Structure 1
Amino acid sequence: MSAPGCAETPSGGPRDEPACEFRDRAGPRRRPSEGRQGPGLQARGPDLRARRRGHRHDRQPGRRRRRELDVVRAKRTIAVKHATWLFADPHFGHESIIRMCGRPFANVAEMNQTMADAWRKVVKPGDDIIVVGDFAHRMPVDQLRKLFDSLPGNKHIVLGNHDGEETRELPWASQRDIAFVSIDGTRCVLCHYALRTWPCIRKGALMLYGHSHGRLPGNSQSMDIGVDVFGWAPLRLNQIKAHLATLPPLVDPEAGDDFENNESVKP
């Protein structure tokens, strides 16, 4: 679990930054001169002006667009209410991933069983678990559905490149391409693909991703949380934070936006 911002969810997600503002640059309305008004227009003029005044609120693009942004943010936000687990890149059913990523399994059946058992060991039925992409690949549909039903928890997914139609048709609690969620009071941006900058980066928001299977270095606020990095069990955020603390500090990619704070740059 917009022009992306820190949207607040019913469960208490982030919303410290103001919504994007769009200024109405339209000039004042032109009033037709009396010379151009025929008798009919003069008769209808007051009624038209009254109708325009009545719809003035709907004709303010700034407010309308801000409402639209709020709707988009809500669609990208995952509301979690219970213990939350994170899991990325299991690739259930994908035999070739064993060779490509050097996974220590003799065959795909052993890999599937190991990861499913690790999931069942830590995730309780009432917990939330967010899969950050690539849940399964080339797994027979009947086996995929049986596996999905056997895994406990309220299952959410942030879609990855290997999540085909069979995976998308499973009864997930939610599906997103990118998700904003507050976990244990920490803002998190979840996407299968790593982002170089993200909403609320200066307020400590974390950017957690998969896809790279441990080949893309992280930093103190962003890292690959896939199974090829952490092992075969879902993770709690405190486990991820402990690893983030060992990584190099984030170099703020937005520093150039703060001209007044960059004393080395002269006008």
Structure 2
Amino acid sequence: MQFVISDNHFYHSDLLGDNDFAPRPFLTVEAMNQQMITAWNDRVTDADTVYELGDIALRPKNYLTPPEVAAVLNQLHGHLVLIKGNHDYRDLFKYLAEHNPILPDGELKYTFHDVGIIVKYDHNQYFLTHYPLFFGITQQTYNLHGHIHHTMMPYATNINIGVDAPERQWVHPALPFGAPLTFAEVEQMIAGKAAYLAQQKH
């Protein structure tokens, strides 16, 4: 099965509690990290693929080393397709490539993309990027992105799939914080957002 997620921001202490950017209801980064690891592993197996659309981890005020990030990522089930976000650094991807576990199916755990990747599902085409894209008029083509956290682009073709994205309100049943999304759940988000935007026009 394929999943998508973005903007986990493991270790990002400035997001804890109430803030104007991306509030997270945890007292410690350890509690936040563990919630996201548990939510991920409760639905993903090592046979699955997860597209991580950037901003994996961040520690404000001091450097978060690649081994520290790898220690978290190695706990996550599945093959991870990592798309570089604005808080992801070249030395992290280089370290992960040099320390890339082989999963039970004989394939490497990590693959890497600087800008994005195209995935097709159920007759739709998805551009997976960290930053939102502007398409104009399209047919059955959507941009899955992160970066803007609890903000929603005002276009039906842009779907924020970050851990704290507002589009997650249209996923039923609701998912725990940090759970990657299936493409079937992405389709729920697309339908919910389209209906919401149509209401705003009246």
TM-score interval (norm. to shorter): 0.7 to 0.9
Letter of the 2:85 partner, please give it: G
TM-score normalised by structure 1 residue count: 0.57
Q: Which position in structure 2 is the counterpart of 1:173?
A: 111
Is residue 96 from structure 1 mapped to residue 14 from structure 2 by the alignment?
A: yes
Which residue does the alignment assign to 1:204? Answer: 140
Q: What pairs with 1:102-113 in structure 2 (closer than 5 Å)?
A: 102-113=23-34
How many residue pairs end up in the alignment?
167
Which has the larger share of strand? 2
Does 2:100 align with 1:182?
Answer: no
Counterpart for residue 137 of structure 1: 58
Correspondence for 1:221 among 137, 141, 157: 157
Task: State the shift of 1:144 in Å.
Answer: 1.6
- Report the CA distance shift for 1:101/1:202 in structure 2 as closer, same or farther (over 3 A): closer
Q: Output one character per residue of 1:78-98: Cα deviation in whole Å (capped at 9) or x when no partner.
A: xxxxx1100100011111122
Distance 1:208 1:94, change over 3 A: same
Contact kept in structure 2, 1:136 and 1:167, CA below 8 Å: no
* Structure with larger RCO (C-alpha < 8 A, sep 6+): 2
Q: Which residue of 1 aligns with 2:132?
A: 194
Give the structure 1 partner of residue 73 of structure 2. Answer: 148
Structure 1 residues 245 and 113, CA gap change in structure 2 (3 angstroms): same
Range that drifts further, 122-131 or 137-146: 137-146
Change (3 A) 1:225 1:105: same
One-letter amino acid matched to 2:163: V
**Displacement, 1:157?**
1.3
Aligned-partner residue type, residue 124 of structure 2: T
Q: Which runs of 5+ in 2 are unaligned?
A: 98-109, 169-176
Tell me if 1:238 matches 2:184: yes
1:128 counterpart residue number: 49
Seen in structure 2, the aligned counterparts of structure 1 residues 127 and 88 have a Cα distance that, compared at 3 Å, is same
- Per the TM alignment, residue 220 of structure 1 is displaced from its structure 2 partner at its CA by 2.8
Structure with greater helix share of residues:
1
Deviation track 1:47-83 (CA, whole Å, cap 9, x = no partner) reads xxxxxxxxxxxxxxxxxxxxxxxxxxxxxxxxxxxx1
Preserved contact between residue 22 and residue 150 of structure 2 (Cα < 8 Å): no
Instruction: Encode CA deviations 1:170-219: one digit per residue, 9 max, x unaligned.
Output: 23223231211113442100111111117xx6331111111000213343
Q: What residue ranges of structure 1 are gaps of 5+ in the alignment? A: 1-82, 252-267
Amino acid paired to 2:160: D
Q: 2:120 corresponds to which letter in structure 1?
A: S
Q: Once structures 1 and 2 are overlaid, which stretch shifts more, 116-125 or 177-186?
A: 177-186
Whether 2:63 is the aligned partner of 1:117: answer no
Amino acid at match of 2:9: H
Which letter maps to 1:152?
H
CA distance in structure 1 between the partners assigned to 2:46 and 2:78 by the alignment: 4
- The amino acid that maps onto 2:47 is G
Checking the alignment, whether the CA contact within 8 Å between 1:189 and 1:207 is kept in structure 2 is yes
Residues 220, 246 of structure 1: 8 Å contact kept: no
Cα RMSD between the aligned structures? 2.1
Question: Which residue of structure 2 lines up, in the alignment, with residue 8 of structure 1?
Answer: none
Q: Which residue of 1 aligns with 2:104?
A: none
1:15 matched residue in structure 2: none
The residue that corresponds to 1:161 in the other structure is 86
